[in-house]
Structure 1
Amino acid sequence: MAAVVLTALCALVACGGADTEAVGETQSGDDDSATAGAPQFPASVEHRYGTTELEEAPERIVTLGFSDQDAVLAFGITPVAVTYWYGDHPHAVWPWAQEALGNAEPVVLNDGTFTGQQNFDYERIAGLEPDLIVGLYTGMTQEEYETLSRIAPTVASSGDYPEYGMPWQESTRMVGQILGQPERAERMIAEVDQMFTDAAAAHPEFEGVEMVVAEMFEPGSSFVRSATDPRTVFMTSLGFELPAEIAELAGDRDGAEISDELMTKLDRELLIWNVGSDPSLREQIENKPLYSSLDAVQDGRVLFIEDPLVSGALTWSTVLSLPYALEHLVPELAAAVGS
């Protein structure tokens, strides 16, 4: 199965890095280049703080979003700097994107210091001399955007979605637009969308099943993911449903805390615990006072996502990580629903 995933990822990112060279060689208005699908400039993209334009292909890209490196790497382009989220992987790039990274060694910003909040080191970013800054999976403010834009053209997330709630399709599309490769973006989106369609068709038992994706960050409560959070969207793209009560509770945030006293709110047809970042949390969850009384627990309709890579692929939910997540999670979901 690993070979299948590698083949799929190579098809998506054009393993070998040829596209990186093509970017530097692109000349706007060249009909032959357009026919070949080479990047086209000038290029522009709209986002929550306006429109960013590039007259020529960027050569020094800095990604500030926690998962933005994947969106850039997918186009065969290596950032000069990426931002650390979590995990212990070379250059803050997870295994599903290492093939696209190749031998490159980008600078890692905020290395090993994830706090849940952005921490833009403007002086260090400026010192990297970027000609494009990508900040999609961030909570970037207007003031931060304006400061970054004085360093280099900056792309923020789409204003059509809440922060951290922009679909992976839109992230891929926006990066494709500013990199002058909109058609390639649509091809990659279509390929991964088809993987979801095929998986859902192969498992009609997923359709309409109420589920929640929960995590644990603080003692005494659980954190349930919202309708727009990528982890939930992964499940609903396969046919599962998020209960309206949970969707309303979380609103336009990425999730909501539920105290242990109200843990019965998590009692649905399928209860999914995303604990791969710290598998030891499973014991703590199972020892919560009301946990064993939940119908989902008693009926065996609980799925703990404990593998760090599988959990990471779900959490990142990028055009590069999703094929890996689908390959490994769909069989586990089928087993959980079947129980």
Structure 2
Amino acid sequence: MSFTAAGRRLALALTVPLLLLAACGGDDGDDGSTATGEPDATSDTATGEFPASVEHRYGSTELSEAPERVITLGFSDQDAVLAFGVAPIAVTDWYGDYDHATWPWAEDELGDAEPLVMNEGAFTGMQAFDYETIADLEPDLIIGLYTGMTQEEYDTLSVIAPTVASSPDYPEYGMPWQETARMVGQILGQADRAEELIADVDAQFAEAAAANPEFEGVEMVVAELFEPGSSFVRSATDPRTVFMTQLGFVLPADLAELAGDLDGAPVSDELMTQLDRELLVWNIGHEPDLRAQIEEKPLYDQLQVVQDGRVLYIEDPLVAGALTWSTVLSLPYALEHLVPQLAETMGAA
């Protein structure tokens, strides 16, 4: 799909009124936010090479010129865009009470920009595309990578502006951070810069792994607590698990199979022995009080990993957030703070 600025404006003028009429009548994804007209955010578009294009699960999107009004719909997509020197005019709120839905590790890249925050404070674990707000902002590029965007949603968004969906090579919410950075770099005309960013973070992982050879081959589980009576085990493709495996740790095959292509799977308290591996990591920074609930579970203190002291509770909200986001901007922060904690935990036995 190829767009010029003039062609996009014409398509927008002709089709958006009908699109929004249909969306208001039948779209369940409206998050209730309202358009604010012209946000204070400005785009600080870095130099790129155009035309630029990228392949994604719903086809190909091409830009003939540098985008000046970029909207990010994925829960963590703003990080990838900011990494290329581009400030979105609108972003999607995930969680965390930070101005402009931008966490501390990305504040320098955001600079003075003040993007509109969609879905602000309304996180339900489900995406919500407010087509009316998006159309009113007149974007010239929409990026929706860390989403579960459907074909129908993509088609609707593409009427508003050229839209980039996630890669077909990975499950929804399971695209590696490298591929996210690479796809964003391609559509922004900065493919070479993408490879530089990826190489830099990969080198940090390699350095951390080399400095901690005891991580290699250790079976581990990244778990979280959401519902009473069970624990949620992150899958092989989930960013939190990928962080660990890139350091040399291993997700046991049976747990990988349990979660499949999803981002994780629940394990009932009656089957908690499935968590009894060489290392158990609890990502609870979003609600540190959960630690008491975990430790009160009936079988918990019987787990060998607990008795050996090889349990790491990630209780700092910022560190847990950096791990959860797992973006090209957040990962260096996660590495800096988590690697020493992992090394200390591995030396506990």
Q: Which sections of structure 2, spanning at least 5 residues, go unmatched?
A: 1-42
Q: Tell me if the contact between 2:74 and 2:146 (Cα under 8 Å) persists in the aligned partners.
A: yes
Deviation, 1:102, is 0.7
Q: Tell me if the contact between 2:79 and 2:106 (Cα under 8 Å) persists in the aligned partners.
A: yes
Deviation by residue 1:265-313 (Cα, 9 ceiling, x = unmatched): 0000000000000001000011011111100111101000000000000
151, 172, 180: which one pairs with 2:189?
180
Residue aligned with 2:112, SS: coil
Residue aligned with 2:160, SS: coil
Please say if 1:266 is aligned against 2:260.
Answer: no
Please report the TM-score for the alignment, with normalisation by the length of structure 1. Answer: 0.89
Q: Tell me if the contact between 2:221 and 2:279 (Cα under 8 Å) persists in the aligned partners.
A: yes
Could you tell me how far apart the structure 1 residues matched to 2:270 and 2:181 are?
Answer: 40
Please say if 1:208 is aligned against 2:217.
Answer: yes
Could you tell me how far apart the structure 1 residues matched to 2:110 and 2:130 are?
Answer: 24
Could you tell me how far apart the structure 1 residues matched to 2:125 and 2:156 are?
Answer: 21
Match of 2:11? none
Could you tell me how far apart the structure 2 residues matched to 1:260 and 1:140 are?
Answer: 33
Match of 2:19? none
Q: Runs of at least 4 residues of structure 1 off by over 6 A?
A: none
Deviation by residue 1:211-242 (Cα, 9 ceiling, x = unmatched): 00000000100000000000000000000000
Could you tell me how far apart the structure 2 residues matched to 1:22 and 1:263 are?
Answer: 49
Aligned length: 306
Please say if 1:219 is aligned against 2:228.
Answer: yes
Deviation, 1:22, is 6.0
Match of 1:12? none
Match of 1:289? 298
Could you tell me how far apart the structure 2 residues matched to 1:276 and 1:45 are?
Answer: 35
Please say if 1:277 is aligned against 2:286.
Answer: yes
287, 308, 325: which one pairs with 1:299?
308
Q: Which sections of structure 1, spanning at least 5 residues, go unmatched?
A: 1-19, 24-37
Please say if 1:126 is aligned against 2:135.
Answer: yes
Deviation, 1:103, is 1.1
Could you tell me how far apart the structure 2 residues matched to 1:103 and 1:293 are?
Answer: 52
231, 237, 253: which one pairs with 1:228?
237
Deviation, 1:63, is 0.1
Please say if 1:144 is aligned against 2:153.
Answer: yes
RMSD: 0.8
Match of 2:246? 237
105, 108, 126: which one pairs with 1:117?
126
Could you tell me how far apart the structure 2 residues matched to 1:21 and 1:335 are?
Answer: 42
Q: What amino acid is aligned across from residue 126 of structure 2 in structure 1?
A: Q
Match of 2:31? none
Match of 1:75? 84
Could you tell me how far apart the structure 1 residues matched to 2:286 and 2:118 are?
Answer: 20
72, 96, 104: which one pairs with 1:95?
104
Could you tell me how far apart the structure 2 residues matched to 1:123 and 1:39 are?
Answer: 30
Deviation by residue 1:134-192 (Cα, 9 ceiling, x = unmatched): 00000000000000000000000000000000000000000000000000000000000
Q: What amino acid is aligned across from residue 102 of structure 2 in structure 1?
A: V
109, 115, 134: which one pairs with 1:106?
115
Q: What amino acid is aligned across from residue 224 of structure 1 in structure 2?
A: V
Identity %: 76
Q: What amino acid is aligned across from residue 134 of structure 1 in structure 2?
A: I
Deviation, 1:21, is 5.3
Q: What amino acid is aligned across from residue 321 of structure 2 in structure 1?
A: G
Residue aligned with 2:200, SS: helix
Could you tell me how far apart the structure 1 residues matched to 2:303 and 2:79 are?
Answer: 38
Could you tell me how far apart the structure 1 residues matched to 2:306 and 2:256 are?
Answer: 22
37, 61, 74: which one pairs with 2:70?
61
Residue aligned with 1:283, SS: helix
Please report the TM-score for the alignment, with normalisation by the length of structure 2. Answer: 0.87
Q: Tell me if the contact between 2:45 and 2:86 (Cα under 8 Å) persists in the aligned partners.
A: no
Could you tell me how far apart the structure 2 residues matched to 1:115 and 1:127 are?
Answer: 24
Could you tell me how far apart the structure 2 residues matched to 1:297 and 1:140 are?
Answer: 39
Could you tell me how far apart the structure 1 residues matched to 2:50 and 2:85 are?
Answer: 17
Please say if 1:310 is aligned against 2:319.
Answer: yes
Deviation by residue 1:104-141 (Cα, 9 ceiling, x = unmatched): 11000000001111111100110110000000000000
Could you tell me how far apart the structure 2 residues matched to 1:264 and 1:89 are?
Answer: 38
Could you tell me how far apart the structure 2 residues matched to 1:268 and 1:142 are?
Answer: 40
Could you tell me how far apart the structure 1 residues matched to 2:136 and 2:272 are?
Answer: 49
**Gap change, CA 1:299 and 1:22, over 3 Å in 2:** closer
Q: Tell me if the contact between 2:100 and 2:115 (Cα under 8 Å) persists in the aligned partners.
A: yes
